Amino acid sequence: QVVESGGGLVQPGGSLRLSCVSSGETLDYYSIGWFRQAPGKKREGVLCISDRDRVSERNTYYLDSVKGRFTISRDNAKNAVYLQMNNLKPEDTAVYFCALKRGYYSDNYCLPQESYDLWGQGTQVTVSS
């Protein structure tokens, strides 16, 4: 089971940190994707990390609109993955999902969504003044 948390209402320019935790899976064994779906829009990949190495251009994909604002990190001791979102904008408003793909593919793109093995239920992020 995968559970996201940390969403909420924040003013433009604010920050949120989303968490993705699993009670049954060791997240270190997975590639991780953060996706979002805004009202009336298709779900899109926001930030995907494809292996367990340190985040770098080699193994991490960023949606252009979040580059320089969003980062990903792992805490293996807590079996958690985090999406740190800074300088939030109204266009970041969406439901955010964490997705897990068993194993690594070591490249800087998000896999097709149907390739991910597990999905969380999503957490709502609303950026508004």
* pLDDT tens-digit readout, 25-75: 899 899 999 999 999 999 999 999 998 888 888 999 999 999 999 999 989
Query: What is the predicted pLDDT for the residue at 57?
Result: 87
Would you list the DSSP string of 25-39? S-GGGEEEEEEEE-T
The answer, yes or no, to whether residue 93 has pLDDT greater than 90, is: yes
By the 8 A CB rule, do 16 and 128 touch?
no
